[in-house]
Amino acid sequence: MFKVSAENQIVKVFNFVPTTKELIGPCDAWVVPHTGLPANCTTDKPPVLKINQAAVYINTGWQIVEDYRGATVYDISNRGASRVDALGPIPDDKTRIAPASEFDEWNGKKWVKDKSVEKTTLINQAAQDKKDRIAVASEHISILTFAKDSEQATEDELLLLTAWQNHRLQLSRVDVSSAPDVIWPGEPADVA
């Protein structure tokens, strides 16, 4: 404990941040006669800290607070990642446990994959993929049909037209409910 003196003193003090009161560390302070300690320090020795703890000087003593600054946390409502930037416990709406997939939901203790949402999403993606593949086939068919109808098609183009028409028919029959294990027919190869 510090005592005011009539003589110069060198005193070991523990400095803390003025705003957060977090421990910075020890140093020797020069104290002139009839004065007190410099601002934002104390002679009280701080507690020994464990991982994810910080010492904060509150009122007249050190207190241990949780310190997860720099740690990545995940929002339990939307899986969004963020970094902790303040002293204190992790907020109730966050967890340090990373979700394993975009389909995970927080059950209060851990992430659990919502398989029905995953399946619906995969089916919707496969349905869009099917539409895109049919659109590509239709574009080829449109060009080749014009060549045929205008009597400009080569023998290879006529074969390719039939191949693309068959390909589009096969695509229309693809069952996307088996997503992600959809078996897609291969595109026709250009006739050489």
Q: Measured in whole angstroms, how far is the alpha carbon of residue 119 from the centre of its chain? A: 22
Radius of gyration of the chain (CA): 35
Q: Give pLDDT tens digits along the chain (192 positions).
A: 788 889 999 999 999 999 999 999 999 999 999 999 999 999 999 999 999 999 999 988 999 999 999 999 999 999 999 999 999 999 999 999 999 999 999 999 999 999 999 999 999 999 999 999 999 999 999 999 999 999 999 999 999 999 999 999 999 999 999 999 999 999 998 654
Per-residue pLDDT, 117: 95
pTM to 2 decimal places: 0.69
- State CA 6 to chain mean position distance: 60
Contact 179, 187 (CB under 8 A): no
What residues does each domain of the chain span?
9-66, 72-112, 115-178
Determine the pLDDT at residue 191: 57
Q: Chain centroid to CA 188: how far?
A: 41
